[in-house]
Structure 1
Amino acid sequence: MPITTTRGRETGLAYAGELSQERMEALDAIDPGWAPDGWDVAWQRCYRLTLAHVRAGGTLPAAAAGELIVQGEDLGTWIAAQKAGWEQLTPAQKFLLESVGVDTADGGEAAVSGRRSQDERWAVNLAAAHQFHTREGHLRVPRKHVEAIRRGGGDNGEDGQETVVKLGAWIDNTRRRAAKLSPRRRADLDELGMHW
């Protein structure tokens, strides 16, 4: 049953973001691989980011967490997880990973835990919040603000890797999920004068 908008027009969608059967068939005719069964959006996103990175001349990380973060995705952690779960991947997924240079010879190595990855992402976002607070004196970050931070500089004078954080969106999302934050994470932001 089509859903109508407030202006009386039919959208043809049961809920926002759902494609009609007709549109899905049209996309299948163009590219049968546009939405493979069993491949979640996160897997496809990480693969596409990895592909773009390799095509731009980048090298794959040595499966170290935090070594390669692109658009907020830790590709080192993701690649390690793919290697660890190699047997559960479809033949097409294996082919795609091999085509971008994922070395499966060490596929038995343990994946970095997802919890650690979340903690690392929190640390990067919190570092951006600290930098913003130090510079601006407050944590009233505009929703679309991005903050560039430097991480991992060494003793030899190197600046380290620059990471771009969508700080405004992170602050806004964190406020919305305040009830789910651990006391430590909430305290981290309270120290910066977070307005809940």
Structure 2
Amino acid sequence: MLSTRADELEELGMIWDTADAQFQENLAAARAYYAEAGTLAAPRHATMLDKPVGQWLTNLRRPGGLGKDPERAARRAEQLAAIDPDWNPGQLGWTVDWQRHYVGLCAVLEAGGTLEELLPGVTYRGDDIGRWLARQQRDWARLNTEQQRRLGVLGVKPAVRPQKATVRTSAKAGAAKGSDAFTRGVAALTQYIRREARTVVPRGHTEVVDGTPVRLGVWLSNIKNRRDRLSEQQLAALAQLGLDWA
């Protein structure tokens, strides 16, 4: 009898647990967000269905965020995992930001993009996937085994670091080394100008050329400060790229 009355009340919209009702509303927003973004690694400011889904998910990932009741917490975790198995990347050993960029990389590749085309500046849903990819290749040794495996499946490999040449004391060897650095810098600057259509480079910007990161902003600042030591050929190369000071 009591069960029948409870069913009748629920049909009329009776809510027995407001906390669970609110969770289900937010869960519906999270489901809609996943359908659009392909991940629950939402930035904190993300909203969906007029719900602050990004902040809500952030709160859930915190210790005790799923509630004090173990059974309820386990049930909620299962519901979130049913939407996105990687909804809480901290349990896997990486950040929400890493997870979101990884999903962005997968989406770009699935859309027909290639790793060679993913240079810094290529974005997906506002995230610079190209810059992130270059950082993963550069800092490959810092990634955990599962991160390396996931990226490896996509064809990502660690950046090839140039071998350090044997130190020579001759001025000729030093000049050759400086010439190589200049050549790499010009190649990086050329690539940057073609993509960005401008010669102003942020000091902290790193450009990846043939898998090798070049600290282009620092290089350009240094080369400008010692332009009086550059050869006529080097100055001409820079002037041809549109650098007025050369």
What TM bracket, shorter-length normalisation?
0.3 to 0.5
TM-score, normalisation: structure 2: 0.35
Return the index of the structure with the highest Cα Rg. 2
More helix by share: 2
TM-score, normalisation: structure 1: 0.42
- Identify the structure with bigger relative contact order (alpha carbons < 8 Å, sequence gap 6+): 1
